[in-house]
Amino acid sequence: MHAYRSHTCADLNKSNVGETVRLSGWVHRVRDHGGVLFIDLRDHYGMTQVLCDSDSPVFAEVEKLRSEWCIRIDGIVKARDESLVNAKLPTGEIEVYIRDMEVLGSAKELPLMVFGDQEYPEETRLRYRYLDLRREVMQRNMVLRSDVVASMRKRMWEKGFREFQTPIITASSPEGARDFLVPSRLHPGKFYALPQAPQQFKQLLMVSGFDKYFQIAPCFRDEDPRADRSPTDFYQLDLEMSFVTQQDVFDTIAPVLGGVFEEFGGGRKVDAPAEWPQISYADAALKYGSDKPDLRNPIEMQVVSEHFAGSGFAIFAKLLEQEGTEIRAIPAPTGGSRKFCDRMNAFAQKEGLPGMGYIFWREKSAQPDTFDQIVRALVGSEEYDKLREQEAEGMAAEGKLKILEALDANDKEKVAFLVDAYFGEHEAAGPLAKNIGPERTEAIRQQLGLGVGDAAFFLGGKPKQFEAVAGRARNVIGTELGLTDENRFAFAWIVDFPIYEKDEETGKIDFEHNPFSMPQGGMEALEGDPLKVKGFQYDLACNGYEIVSGAIRNHKPEIMFKAFEIAGYPKEEVTKRFGGMVNAFQYGAPPHGGCAAGVDRIVMLLADEDNLRDVMLFPMNQRAEDLMMGAPSEPTSDQLMELSLRVIPQE
């Protein structure tokens, strides 16, 4: 028999009854049932119940076992009583009677329990990551990650791509984040950099004549940590192709990722790649307040400035007198209660705003007495008297059509609209409604397509100042009102990114997004207004996360130099900073483009986790520290001398 096991802890079933077997694993849980010890023995593959009674020659030794001791047992497989079968376990029909045991590794008192669902601080989990990783959910997540990467590789090979490895030690990369620098021993005072991405190398591969490249690439960026971003390193499915358009890239990567989500999505609905919408960056900001919108939420924001201009709500009315300002509404179907509106107002205050205006619609509490009272109130006494002369009959509600016939087309629309506002089923409530009046609130309701029991929230100012908060409010509203379809993966291509932006204080033009994407319209586009130049740059959003970013590259040196010149970078500086790529483009560079998909983020979505830490084997903490290995650490004096470095103490 093998030294440690004849079977794994997931292998045994009724067909093995009567066999003598050997298992190795960890003591997951011990239960003492009056002289009979039951042990759940766990390995990577599963769990088997083993037991020991006083007849066993190793009973005294088994009594000493505690959680997470690593042991080997020999025993006889027996069938469980029908009433004791555990249908949740593959091994639930059998149990193993222990006849021999060896302790392979004892365990000290545990700093965190592997058994159960207790929550532990991040510091504890990361310091004892090897214990944290033993937990079932973590084992499952890491297996999922491995399977996802294998599936990506398989799908890329099937599409005719080859995998190439690019350098890990290189020069500083123009990716926009901070580099991790590596001092050179052979060249004192000079530094290598860990690649933020294989960007330049994969483009150089296209210049080298390789038509299709991919890599599961490690990337290194010294970034501020977030739940969906690692502060040090991450992995991406990196790809590049020659002689392609933007749509070619979409058509290549969409089936790969769509297939991965279908394969590992646990039965959740995955929109077909052909149905993934292409939304302009400007429309995404307007409708969703984000360039990575969560389309599981059906809410779309709208501009409603016209309804507040010159209105009785002075805050918005005065705001709209300033150039570049607007008012946007966030519809909230079924959110028409004061309690919910107050809750969202509190949300806005937590986001640093004074509050968030709202209107909600309820059933009308009282109807006006007569139609003529309404007409008089709406059109004025003088106009009413004229109508009264034209139509001598009573001005009850049934006379509406006769009144309308006496008006010209514009007045007919106005009166019909206002009469609907007064006689309809809806009544607007809330501070805003009182300030702007029934005509404006009805116009807002109709524009947003809302009704009784619905609400709308309003934010105003210069869009860039409030869009992010509006986007977060949209997400909260969608979740709290149950509008967001939690059982779906919804994708959207975000396209037409602006290349440039203007600093409002200095008036300086600078890059807003990737400076290396090809401008739409080429050199001709760069001759006009820079703020109107769009790039062939694109992202793929899924459920509120950016999971892919890419571009059709600017492969023509003259266009690249012009693009950088507009942002204030002379040709000499471009050549100095990106000389390798610029030089290569002068030797017959093909049109090319590609993208990179974030492996960690994709696995996080598939695993239904909220933090990248839970799908990475050995992540850093929020301060970019490895508590388990003690990194970063102080170098020795000898190491510093060898590298010709000196550390300046921090004050």
Q: Is the pLDDT of residue 391 over 70?
A: no
Burial 80-108 (b: 16+ CB within 10 A, else e): beeeeeeeebbbbbbbbbbeebeeeeebe
Q: Is the pLDDT of residue 74 over 70?
A: yes
Q: Which residue matches tokens 């379809």?
A: 485
* Span of 27-41, 249-263, 411-425, 583-597 with lowest mean pLDDT: 411-425
Q: Alpha carbon of 320 to those of 42, 304, 324, 462, 465: distances in Å?
A: 66, 11, 8, 10, 14
* pLDDT band at residue 644 under the 50/70/90 scheme: very high
Which pLDDT tens digit goes with each residue over 510-566? 898 888 899 999 999 999 999 999 999 999 999 999 999 999 999 999 999 999 999
Which pLDDT tens digit goes with each residue over 591-609? 999 999 999 999 999 999 9
How confident is the model at residue 418, as a pLDDT? 57
* Span of 39-53, 57-71, 374-388 with lowest mean pLDDT: 374-388
Residues contacting 517, CB < 8 A, separation 6+: 497, 499, 535, 536, 537, 551, 552, 553, 554
* Span of 211-225, 533-547, 565-579 with lowest mean pLDDT: 565-579
Q: Is the pLDDT of residue 498 over 70?
A: yes
Cβ atoms of residues 510 and 499 within 8 Å? no
Q: For the CA atoms of 58, 60, 65, 69, what is the dihedral angle to 10 degrees?
A: -40
Which pLDDT tens digit goes with each residue over 170-192? 987 655 678 999 999 999 999 99
How confident is the model at residue 407, as a pLDDT? 56
pLDDT averaged over every residue in the chain: 90
More confident residue, 428 or 406: 428
Q: Is the pLDDT of residue 40 over 60?
A: yes
How confident is the model at residue 375, as a pLDDT? 62
Q: How far apart are CA 639 and CA 367, in angstroms?
A: 86
Token couple for 63: 């009594």
Cβ atoms of residues 350 and 473 within 8 Å? no
Token couple for 279: 């939304």
* Span of 96-100, 188-192, 262-266 with lowest mean pLDDT: 188-192
Output DSSP code: residue 226: B
CA 91 to chain centroid, in Å, comes to: 38
How confident is the model at residue 393, as a pLDDT? 47
Which pLDDT tens digit goes with each residue over 291-319? 999 999 999 999 999 999 999 999 999 99
Mean pLDDT of the 334-348 span: 92
* pLDDT band at residue 578 under the 50/70/90 scheme: confident
Q: Alpha carbon of 458 to those of 352, 379, 454, 587: distances in Å?
A: 15, 29, 14, 55
More confident residue, 437 or 159: 159
* pLDDT band at residue 323 under the 50/70/90 scheme: very high
Q: How far apart are CA 448 and CA 428, in angstroms?
A: 14
Q: Is the pLDDT of residue 624 over 50?
A: yes
Mean pLDDT of the 231-250 span: 96
Mean pLDDT of the 315-337 span: 95
* Span of 157-166, 205-214, 413-422 with lowest mean pLDDT: 413-422
Mean pLDDT of the 21-50 span: 95
How confident is the model at residue 394, as a pLDDT? 47
Q: With residue 600 as reference, give the H or E element that holds it.
A: helix 599-606
How confident is the model at residue 396, as a pLDDT? 43
Q: How far apart are CA 374 and CA 415, in angstroms?
A: 10
Output the CA torsion sign for 305, 306, 308, 314: positive
Mean pLDDT of the 485-514 span: 91
User: HEC profile for 505-567?
Assistant: CCCCEEECCCCCECECCHHHHHCCCHHHCEECEEEEEECCEEEEEEEEECCCHHHHHHHHHHC
Cβ atoms of residues 183 and 643 within 8 Å? yes
Q: Which domains does the chain have, with CATH numbers?
A: 14-105 (2.40.50.140), 269-279+488-589 (3.30.930.10), 283-487 (3.30.1360.30)
Phi, psi of 623 (to 5 degrees): -105, 20
Give the pairing type, strands 357-363 and 455-461.
Answer: antiparallel
Q: How far apart are CA 286 and CA 305, in angstroms?
A: 13
Cβ atoms of residues 230 and 612 within 8 Å? yes
Output the CA torsion sign for 493, 495, 499, 504: negative
Distance separating the N- and C-terminal Cα atoms of the chain: 64
Residues contacting 377, CB < 8 A, separation 6+: none
Output the CA torsion sign for 207, 208, 214, 220: negative
How confident is the model at residue 395, as a pLDDT? 46
Nearest to 474, CA basis, from 295, 211, 275: 295
Residues contacting 561, CB < 8 A, separation 6+: 571, 574
